[in-house]
Amino acid sequence: NAGVTQTPKFQVLKTGQSMTLQCAQDMNHNSMYWYRQDPGMGLRLIYYSASEGTTDKGEVPNGYNVSRLNKREFSLRLESAAPSQTSVYFCASSESPGNYEQYFGPGTRLTVT
């Protein structure tokens, strides 16, 4: 039981390049989330998927797209990376939307030069 896994752990991109961050959970959770964490700002929600087949914008969605591939997997895509997207990205999951505990992956540290 690995919980929430993320790949890659580290990535360096040049401005304008694209990439996809992968997230998978093995807890049979319905809801999945993508956050970014910047120094001194706490975590901010980028997108979430309340259940398989649905996705919704969070607090900071601009410059990102997501895909809920199946119940286990939720990917985050940067189409044209910008230095402002340098951050640590965390994926999380919960049993259902709303009043349930969220479980986090180890994070992806992304640098855009």
For 53, the token pair is 């087949």
* Integer Cα distance of 85 and 68 in angstroms: 21
Tell me the residue type at 12: V
Site string for other proteins, 71-90 (x = CB under 8 A): -------------------x
> Which of 19, 27, 45, 69 touches other proteins by CB under 8 A?
45
102 contacts other proteins (rule: CB under 8 A): yes
For 50, the token pair is 């309340």
53 contacts other proteins (rule: CB under 8 A): no
Question: Please, what is the minimum distance in Å from the beta carbon of residue 3 to other proteins?
Answer: 9
44 contacts other proteins (rule: CB under 8 A): yes
10 beta partners: 109
* Integer Cα distance of 71 and 53 in angstroms: 8
61 contacts other proteins (rule: CB under 8 A): no
Cβ atoms of residues 54 and 61 within 8 Å:
no
99 contacts other proteins (rule: CB under 8 A): yes
* Integer Cα distance of 42 and 35 in angstroms: 10
40 contacts other proteins (rule: CB under 8 A): yes
For 26, the token pair is 């093995």
Residues near other proteins (CB under 8 A)? 4, 31, 33, 35, 40-45, 48, 50, 56, 58-59, 90, 92, 97-99, 101-107
